[in-house]
Amino acid sequence: MRKSIAESITNTIRDLNKSGLVDEITMKNIENLCIPEVKEYSPEKIALIRKKFKLSQAALASIFNISPSTVQKWERGDKRPTGASRKLLDIIERKGLDAII
């Protein structure tokens, strides 16, 4: 439901922007507020995503441009993905590998 509300708000603001009633800065601010929150990923969830797409740890590391040892540490729970890595996991989980490759 949250997604449909965010889409409705974003579409309305875009229409208002096209009509000249909302400026670009306001439109961008509203769009940024509607970006889905990126969740935390457990070691088990990371491994599950990787296996779903039939990737080795080295292959996932290559896609993320990180070392295979970092993926190993994620899956052991020694480290947690942050920033861009967390966002990429989210995109892969929601939209598949084709969204980033």
**Angle ∠(96,40,35) on CA atoms, nearest 5:** 65
Q: Position 28: which residue type?
A: K
Calpha distance 45→75 (Å, rounded): 8
Does residue 13 or residue 76 have the better pLDDT?
76
User: What are the phi and psi torsion angles at 96 (to 5°)?
Assistant: 90, 175
For residue range 27-56, list pLDDT tens digits in order. Answer: 888 888 877 778 899 999 999 999 999 999
pLDDT of residue 1: 47
